[in-house]
Amino acid sequence: MEDLVRKAIAGSDADYTEVRIEREERSQADFQRDKLENLEQSSELGGIVRCLCDGGWGIAVLNDPAKLPAKVAEATRTARLVAARRDEPVKLADAPVVQESVRAEIENDFRTVPLEKKKRLAESYNDLLLNHDKRIVSTRVRYNDSFREVTYANSEGTFIAQEIPDVTLLLVAVASDGAANIQQGFKSLGEAGGFDVVLNREDEARAVAKRAIDLVAARSVEGGKYTVILDPELAGVFIHEAFGHFCEADFLYQNERLKKIMTIGTRFAERNLNVVDDGYIPGLRGNTPYDDEGVARAKTYLIKNGVLTNLLHSRQTAKKMGASPTGNARAVSYAFEPIVRMTNTYIEPGSDTFEEMLRGIDRGVYAVKAYGGETVFEQFTFSAAYAYEIRDGEVGDLLKDVVLTGNLFETLRAIDMIGPDLKIEGSSGGCGKGEQSPLPVTAGAPHIRARKVTIGGK
Amino acid sequence: MNALIERLAARVDQGEVYRIRSRTVPIQFTSGHLDSIKTNETEGMALRVIADGKLGFATTTDMEDQNTLIDAAVAASAFGDTVDFRFPETDAPTPVSVYDPAIAALSEEEMITLGDHLISRLTKLDSEVDINISLAKSIERVSIENTSDRQLEDKRTLFSVSLEVSKAREGDIFILSDSASVRRFDDFKPEAMLARLTRLLEYGKKLAPVASRPLPVVFTPNGTITLLLPLIVGFNGKAVYMGTSPLKGRMGEKVFDERFSVTDDGTVPFGPRSGGFDDEGIPTMATSLISDGTVKAFTYDLRTAALAGTRSTGNGYKGGLFGGGFRNVPAIGMNNVIVAEGKAAEEKLISEIEEGLLVESVLGLGQGNINAGEFSNNVAVAFKIENGRVVGRVKNTMIAGNVYTLLRDSLIGVGRKAEWAHGALLAPAIAVDGVSVVGEGT
């Protein structure tokens, strides 16, 4: 394969050529209620070529590596077509030439675990969920693993081989009171690790089933504006969804107005807020030792002491904005070109305790875990898996149907307290941007408190 | 019978081979600049086997190495679930047109020219807007063969355009998007798309406050997905079988207003999700789900149909609610979802509202307790209606409701002109009363 890649690049007429070949082995055991929906072990091989000619990009995707030279020629042809119809040529920021091999170091490699054992593990969690209570009407337990070997090379001389392991587990329990009241509890986890990651999760499975049952009896939150405490997971989703995406330079580098809004040095929050995107923290599934342009990982402060400090860049956006590449050009698979993405994104810990946060809240909401989230420019929305009422400084009843929404800039300024208890976790899903989903990322934070957050409801 | 099927027939009770080969050419414009041309030539193969009555699955992109694929699927079947269905036997696919030579012949230059045209027209409309466009043409060959002697092949074209127009000011960013997916090039109507965007940009020029209270809401054809998504989940035969759908046990009951009818239809000529057969080789059909408010059918794939003691409705698709690739096991997915047209013009529905919202799109689709029919979303693009007129755009506003309640008790009216949206949905505007709104005004 290495020869094939080197030869294809050597034979290219383009100004810049890069090739990425990906081989994946994956397996899945997926239970839904009492049925094994899927049990599979599959493999996949594919690649992508990107050529830059006279400042235009041509891209070609393939499954058969024997077609590499033909695809380099095709990408060169389309790149020229783009260059002829584009006013401003694309240029790339400099990046060091790298020759490196990154091996995965995982304990209990899931590739050596028989498929039957993966099935039995998923089944055991599923049984726990199903047998918890007769009000559990449905369940979902999905185990996934993936081992990718990614070979990246470009015409500048960079050649990188990386192994990327990923293992995820999703536990869902759906409970119903027999009528239309249908509620769910879930736990979703993922790591760049081995089979051990998904073992010994029985207590979490029980908690999932219990939460589904509890939510059936919970009351709906009343819509309105509240002082809100977010748990680390939900605060992580907030910082990823609402703010992180805003820092992806490909979204604003050609837009003067947005660039102005996101000028480095602008104050966005109180002095206590620090936000980081870090390309490597052992075990986290957002890890990207080298990104899909061959740029090494970095720890990038997006916000330092409340002030916008950096954006996340590809080589193209960095060149255009006079910045340095940050190792955030990532592709979800061989079928896609790299675009600017986050890796492991988190809010740094502060010093405000949970008790201090509760103090002074007459009527508030403690929102826990994220069910989902979406953001369009400065508007964000995300739903909590569950929440608790806060009354007169104390955590009270369980609440359901808690969807938080707001304006990013207002909400960042409204963060007034940050706890010491940073937690960064991966989920079984991932991040979506454009067509590229789900990309493994993690997000995290300590507990944080924000004033005047809108919560939808009846 | 080809060699792979023969080999399968010798080793397992039943086998099914799904192959897809596609060539897709996406062209990307960012902030008004042509960015890239991509040629995406991919192929993949999925194998389902039933051995000793148990189901196994495997996929590959290596079309030559069939032994590894068979071994993997058979190995998985050893621990698979016992299933009680047969891969379908020979009967003809539904004759539906899904291939247009004009899309196949479309050149990259022509697509760039079309993109340039859209950008220059939109820029003329409003010089402050930032425009992202992607155009793509795709030719797809899908084949299904199984040990029940079925051999099917479909050749499908698709041309799609998605467009994002944004206008940023300090503290306010207005973003509009639109998309079209057509299997016949002539069905792409750039003028209609531009007219729609023009109207929405005009509506959005001013901001309008909205207070927190229950209000009538007109969902535009694009916005109706907010109401339809919980229904698509609820009419999924598996959710009904599993008991997570509120529609369980309500077949034949009048659950909705009698002016509301919905059909799942894979036979619409050149419909964006039409085809001769689903991903399990079942001929596509038109299935009335709701007729004059009455629950008529649920959607099924082969496996769920066998569990529920009914027949597949031709809704077995590989990958998610709205289709996907060869990598996934077939599950229940939709064909074209068609909401029957009503009597009122969209303008008339708006004109009869004293105070309410016009909702074009929301954030976080599927958020809220969707199983129970609930939606709870921040509006992405929505407008305030006052005294029968659209007066401005609303921001930071949430809408919430239960579609089963709203479409039973609070339907104001259904528009008389259905439009394609989301590459899967043909719906007119729908107006409902009593949607809970949380806004910033008083």
Chain A closest-CA separation from residue B339 CA (Å): 24
CB A325 within 8 A of CB A387: no
Cα separations (Å) of A437 from A331, A430, B68, B252? 9, 7, 28, 39
B58–A457 C-beta distance less than 8 A? no
- Least Cα distance to A244 among A275, A213, A208 occurs for A275
**C-alpha–C-alpha distance, residues B316 and A346, integer Å:** 40
Chain A closest-CA separation from residue B28 CA (Å): 10
CB B133 within 8 A of CB B123: no
**C-alpha–C-alpha distance, residues A38 and B287, integer Å:** 27
| Residue A169 CB-half CA count within 13 A | 25
Cα separations (Å) of A4 from A8, A9, A290? 6, 9, 21
Q: Which of B378, B435, B436, B442 to mutate to test the interface with A (most CBs of A within 10 A)?
A: B378
Report pLDDT for A407. 87
Report pLDDT for A457. 66
Considering only the beta carbons, identify the residue of B108, B243, B399 that sits closest to A176: B243
Q: What is the mean pLDDT of chain B?
A: 93
Q: Say how many Å lie between the first and final Cα of chain A, rounded.
A: 59
On the question of pLDDT at B81 being above 60, the answer is yes
What is the interface size between A and B, counted as CB pairs within 8 Å?
Answer: 248
CB B181 within 8 A of CB B158: yes
Say if residue A438 is preceded by a cis peptide, omega within 30 of 0. yes
* Amino acid letter, A388: Y
Percent of chain B with pLDDT strictly greater than 70: 98
Max Cα distance, chain A (Å) = 72
Q: Does the beta carbon of B80 lie under 8 angstroms from any beta carbon of chain A?
A: yes
Partners of residue A250 in chain B, C-beta under 8 Å: 30
Q: What dihedral angle (degrees, nearest 10) is formed by the CA atoms of A325, A327, A329, A334? A: 140
| Phi, psi for B112 (deg, rounded to 5) | -65, -40
Report pLDDT for A293. 98
Do the strands B213-219 and B355-362 form a parallel or antiparallel pair, or are they unpaired?
Answer: parallel
Partners of residue A258 in chain B, C-beta under 8 Å: 130, 168, 173
Q: Give the count of beta carbons closer than 10 Å to the beta carbon of residue A218.
A: 20
On the question of pLDDT at A434 being above 70, the answer is yes
A137–B244 C-beta distance less than 8 A? yes
Chain A closest-CA separation from residue B23 CA (Å): 10
Cβ-proximal residues to A18 (8 Å cutoff; 6+ apart), any chain? A9, A49, A50, A51, A152, A153, A154, A155, A293, A294
- Quote the ipTM score: 0.91
Considering only the beta carbons, identify the residue of B30, B73, B244 that sits closest to A182: B244
A38–B371 C-beta distance less than 8 A? no
Chain A residue with Cα closest to B398 = A456
Structure tokens at B158: 């698709």
**C-alpha–C-alpha distance, residues B303 and A425, integer Å:** 35
| Phi, psi for A97 (deg, rounded to 5) | -75, 130
pTM over 0.90: yes
Q: Report the range of poorest mean pLDDT among A197-206, A375-384, B123-132, B339-348.
A: A375-384
B169–A46 C-beta distance less than 8 A? no
Q: What is the H or E stretch that residue A42 is in? A: strand A35-53
**C-alpha–C-alpha distance, residues A88 and A246, integer Å:** 24
On the question of pLDDT at A384 being above 50, the answer is yes
A255–B68 C-beta distance less than 8 A? no
Cβ-proximal residues to A234 (8 Å cutoff; 6+ apart), any chain? A367, A368, A369, A370, A382, A384
Q: What is the H or E stretch that residue A219 is in? A: strand A219-220
B364–A454 C-beta distance less than 8 A? no
Q: What is the H or E stretch that residue A190 is in? A: strand A182-191
Check whether domain A2-217 has CATH 3.30.2290.10, yes or no: yes
Q: What is the mean pLDDT of chain A?
A: 95
Report pLDDT for B322. 40
Q: Does the beta carbon of B441 lie under 8 angstroms from any beta carbon of chain A?
A: no
Considering only the beta carbons, identify the residue of B56, B396, B399 that sits closest to A39: B56
Length of chain B measured in residues = 442
Q: Give the count of beta carbons closer than 10 Å to the beta carbon of residue B329.
A: 21
- What are B157-209's pLDDT values in tens digits? 999 999 999 988 767 788 899 999 999 999 999 999 999 999 999 999 999 99
- What are A280-311's pLDDT values in tens digits? 999 999 999 999 999 999 999 999 999 999 99
**C-alpha–C-alpha distance, residues A388 and A354, integer Å:** 14
Mean pLDDT of the A141-153 span: 98
- Least Cα distance to A150 among A136, A162, A134 occurs for A162
Note the helical H segments in B29-99: 66-77
Chain A residue with Cα closest to B211 = A224
Report pLDDT for B366. 82
Q: Give residue limits of the domains in chain A.
A: 2-217, 220-456
Chain B residue with Cα closest to A379 = B396
Chain B closest-CA separation from residue A49 CA (Å): 10
Structure tokens at B100: 């247009």
A39–B61 C-beta distance less than 8 A? no
Check whether domain B3-198 has CATH 3.30.2290.10, yes or no: yes
More confident residue, B439 or B360: B360
The conformational region for residue A239 under phi > 0 = left, psi -120 to 50 = alpha, else beta, is: alpha
Report pLDDT for B1. 52
**C-alpha–C-alpha distance, residues B192 and B113, integer Å:** 18
**C-alpha–C-alpha distance, residues A226 and A404, integer Å:** 10
Helix (H, G, I), strand (E, B) or coil at A179: coil
Chain B residue with Cα closest to A63 = B42
Chain A residue with Cα closest to B36 = A57
**C-alpha–C-alpha distance, residues A96 and A156, integer Å:** 9
Chain A closest-CA separation from residue B128 CA (Å): 9
Residue A452 banded pLDDT, cuts 50, 70, 90: very high
Q: What dihedral angle (degrees, nearest 10) is formed by the CA atoms of A384, B373, A215, A405? A: 20
Q: What is the H or E stretch that residue A375 is in? A: strand A363-376
Partners of residue A182 in chain B, C-beta under 8 Å: 244, 246, 369, 371-372
Mean pLDDT of the A440-450 span: 97
* Amino acid letter, B51: A
Mean pLDDT of the A83-100 span: 96
Q: Does the beta carbon of B405 lie under 8 angstroms from any beta carbon of chain A?
A: no
- Least Cα distance to B49 among B58, B40, B39, B36 occurs for B58
Considering only the beta carbons, identify the residue of A67, A71, A258 that sits closest to B168: A258
- What are A388-430's pLDDT values in tens digits? 999 999 999 999 989 898 889 999 999 999 999 999 999 998 8
B371–A376 C-beta distance less than 8 A? no
Chain B closest-CA separation from residue A81 CA (Å): 8
Q: Report the range of poorest mean pLDDT among A132-136, B88-92, B179-183.
A: B88-92
Q: Does the beta carbon of B61 lie under 8 angstroms from any beta carbon of chain A?
A: yes
B242–A41 C-beta distance less than 8 A? no
Report pLDDT for B286. 98
Q: Give residue limits of the domains in chain B.
A: 3-198, 204-442
Report pLDDT for B323. 43
On the question of pLDDT at B289 being above 70, the answer is yes
Partners of residue A180 in chain B, C-beta under 8 Å: 246, 372-373, 404
Report pLDDT for A458. 59
* The B286-291 sheet, strands edge to edge: B294-295, B286-291, B262-265, B336-339, B425-427, B419-421
On the question of pLDDT at A372 being above 80, the answer is no
Percent of chain A with pLDDT strictly greater than 70: 100
Report pLDDT for B442. 62
**C-alpha–C-alpha distance, residues B100 and B421, integer Å:** 20
